[in-house]
Copies of this chain bind each other. A is one copy, B any other.
Amino acid sequence: MKDQTPTVTTGPLPASRRVWRAGERHPDIRVPMREIDLHPTAGEPPVTVYDSSGPYTDPDAEIVIDRGLPRLREAWITARGDTEAYKGRDISPADNGFAEGARLVPEFPVGHAPRRATKGRAVTQMAYARAGIVTPEMEFVAIRENLGRKAQAKALARDGEGFGAAIPDFITPEFVRDEIAEGRAIIPANINHPEAEPMAIGRNFLVKINANIGNSAVTSSMAEEVEKMVWATRWGADTVMDLSTGRNIHNIRDWIIRNSPVPIGTVPLYQALEKVNGIAEDLTWEVYRDTLIEQAEQGVDYFTIHAGVRLHMIPMTVDRVTGIVSRGGSIMAKWCLHHHRESFLYEHFDEICDIARVYDVSFSLGDGLRPGSIADANDEAQFAELETLGELTQVAWAKDCQVMIEGPGHVPMHKIKANMDKQLATCGEAPFYTLGPLTTDIAPGYDHITSGIGAAMIGWFGCAMLCYVTPKEHLGLPDRDDVKTGVITYKIAAHAADLAKGHPAAQARDDALSRARFEFRWEDQFNLSLDPETARSMHDETLPKEAHKVAHFCSMCGPKFCSMRISHDIRAEAQKEGMEKMAEKFRDGGDLYIPLEDVK
């Protein structure tokens, strides 16, 4: 087994240190952030940024993949006194797709008895929030969202358009509690995944991104997937979905969860389908239910449930250009058609909630009928399903379950806002979680970009989490480079959205980087960027010498044409001359051209 232990990427990002902030209500909590040090000539404090990378970027942390990450939430969970450890379900060969011998991925070496709520209790963050309790998770999230800022006595100057979002100047634990209680945000935090660092998904918090990983029947291994998870969080993935569909699903997932510092989401239907040998019509509620419990015991933080695809909606998809493109959606549609019956997910949704609430598995209500092409965007099928997701949201909330809503897909720019508006109205402001959307179909190989455009826009309009799309979308399984490109592209989209919404802390990093650019602090420019390695290596392609890192010009213009350098000269001269006065003099009577016609 030893030689199967995955090797993962560790070590800090350049000029970066992992730092912690303690709680006030809960002094034992340590909220991680990343501080980026600047060159001494900057005369500026380090820039603090959100850090989803977990202990892997902390040189002082001992990383032992075979053992898993420290279980930081375990004490918080047991202290609440509303859960119990129990034996848990037996693992069967079907859980791993009947993989045997050398083909069987080994079990994760360390076992933990699963926990569940004691009888009749709901142990969800929503249940606590509604009971008026500020959990350590909520305070953790509050501190994390402030990026290390302190509350200011006077209101901040704000600049942005939030379309009804209400991001406060400063996030308090009580604000987090209120948002969770109202269903406007979730903290995906299965009590069986105590290794994860709490994070929030909601319109009034920083926009989050999800990265998908997962092996398929065709390719990829356990070690690769664990490293993909670590790699994705290193670059900024806030959650990771394990979309594995081949053999060994159970064991691979164990390795991933035990080592994941971020919430893990899954689509339980995929594993359920493997258990019935891939024959959709053989799926039963019992197999599905058993899979939910299996995954809840392992610690999956959120489930995509395609309960919105109902029998009567299927005809609405028949004349589409691309039919049903969601795997989960198409599996359920096939089941419904074959049995001429209503979806068992819809019929049993109440019971699904009963499972979720005893582990605090959040729901990501799947958009099984999302459009797979520009032609199918915003059509009858898509919005019919959204209405059902609104119904199901209310069912889940009645059971204190946390909910977010999945969204499209492929949508041209002029139809994006309608998606956001309809989702907010239909689903009671539950957080929206979209895939892209892709704004055109004509660029396979560049769908991180076609979708990054849509993602930035819908993030601005209020989408709480953006599911990344890699360059390989529609073409193949993403490798390590694709995962990184997808994550960075989506960090751009999420950050652009935060800026446009007017998040009070978002622009600090832009400003710090722009000052570094203006002052020719090349190292700071690299270190403050989302991908310091790439920025540095691109710069060094043209000007590799160490001396050029302090050069007051770059390869684009060369020294003579450097506008930045000229601007410095101008600034110096202005200070010397008292520009304002002199310019005012020139202003008087300086206009040469009297407008020939009124153009307004």
Is the CB–CB distance between B499 and A412 below 8 Å?
yes
Is the CB–CB distance between B496 and A439 below 8 Å?
yes
- Given the known A-B contacts A496-B440, A593-B392, are A457 and B413 also in contact in the complex, defined by CB atoms under 8 Å? yes
Is A287 in contact with chain B by the CB < 8 A criterion?
A: no
Is A398 in contact with chain B by the CB < 8 A criterion?
A: yes
Is A420 in contact with chain B by the CB < 8 A criterion?
A: no
Besides A372-B517, A373-B517, A448-B449, 5 new A-B residue pairs in contact (Cβ under 8 A), listed by A number: A321-B514, A413-B496, A443-B530, A445-B535, A457-B457
**A555's contact among B219, B321, B518, by CB below 8 Å, is which?**
B219
| Chain B residues within 8 Å of A218, by CB | 542-543, 555, 558
CB-contacts of A257-278 with B (<8 A): 270, 273, 278
| Chain B residues within 8 Å of A397, by CB | 596
Is the CB–CB distance between A507 and B460 below 8 Å?
no
Is A395 in contact with chain B by the CB < 8 A criterion?
A: yes
- Given the known A-B contacts A278-B560, A531-B445, A567-B317, are A590 and B312 also in contact in the complex, defined by CB atoms under 8 Å? yes
Is the CB–CB distance between A593 and B391 below 8 Å?
yes
Is A592 in contact with chain B by the CB < 8 A criterion?
A: yes
Is the CB–CB distance between A541 and B492 below 8 Å?
no
Q: Chain A 402-428 against B: per-residue CB contact (8 Å), 1 yes, 0 no?
A: 000000001011100000000001111
Is A511 in contact with chain B by the CB < 8 A criterion?
A: yes
Is the CB–CB distance between A579 and B318 below 8 Å?
yes
**A514's contact among B333, B372, B542, by CB below 8 Å, is which?**
B372
Q: Chain A 374-388 against B: per-residue CB contact (8 Å), 1 yes, 0 no?
A: 110000000000000
Is A471 in contact with chain B by the CB < 8 A criterion?
A: yes
CB-contacts of A325-355 with B (<8 A): 325-327, 329-331, 333-334, 337, 340, 342, 346-347, 349
Is A62 in contact with chain B by the CB < 8 A criterion?
A: no
Give the segment of A112-120, A198-206, A521-529 that binds chain B.
A521-529
- Given the known A-B contacts A442-B509, A538-B445, A599-B427, are A566 and B391 also in contact in the complex, defined by CB atoms under 8 Å? no
Is A33 in contact with chain B by the CB < 8 A criterion?
A: no
Is A557 in contact with chain B by the CB < 8 A criterion?
A: yes
| Chain B residues within 8 Å of A334, by CB | 566, 569-570
11 CB-based A-B contacts, threshold 8 Å: A321-B511, A321-B514, A330-B570, A349-B593, A375-B507, A390-B595, A394-B597, A397-B596, A439-B492, A441-B510, A442-B528
Is A89 in contact with chain B by the CB < 8 A criterion?
A: no
CB-contacts of A504-550 with B (<8 A): 507, 509-511, 513-515, 517-518, 525-526, 528-531, 534-535, 538-539, 541-543
Whole-angstrom distance from the CB of A406 to the nearest CB of chain B?
A: 15
Is the CB–CB distance between B337 and A475 below 8 Å?
no
Is the CB–CB distance between A453 and B511 below 8 Å?
no
Give the segment of A6-14, A72-80, A142-150, A580-588 that binds chain B.
A580-588
Whole-angstrom distance from the CB of A387 to the nearest CB of chain B?
A: 10
Whole-angstrom distance from the CB of A500 to the nearest CB of chain B?
A: 4
Report the separation of the CA atoms of residues A448 and B452 in the bound assembly, to the nearest whole angstrom: 11
Is A310 in contact with chain B by the CB < 8 A criterion?
A: yes
Q: Chain A 228-250 against B: per-residue CB contact (8 Å), 1 yes, 0 no?
A: 00000000000000000110000
| Chain B residues within 8 Å of A331, by CB | 561, 563, 566
Is A322 in contact with chain B by the CB < 8 A criterion?
A: yes
| Chain B residues within 8 Å of A46, by CB | none
Report the separation of the CA atoms of residues A334 and B495 in the bound assembly, to the nearest whole angstrom: 35
Is A573 in contact with chain B by the CB < 8 A criterion?
A: yes
| Chain B residues within 8 Å of A426, by CB | 599-600
Is A489 in contact with chain B by the CB < 8 A criterion?
A: yes
CB-contacts of A551-566 with B (<8 A): 554-564, 566
Report the separation of the CA atoms of residues A558 and B327 in the bound assembly, to the nearest whole angstrom: 11
Is the CB–CB distance between B567 and A324 below 8 Å?
yes
Is the CB–CB distance between B538 and A471 below 8 Å?
yes
**Closest A-B pairs by Cβ, 9 of them:** A323-B567, A217-B558, A373-B514, A278-B560, A413-B500, A476-B542, A330-B563, A330-B566, A445-B534
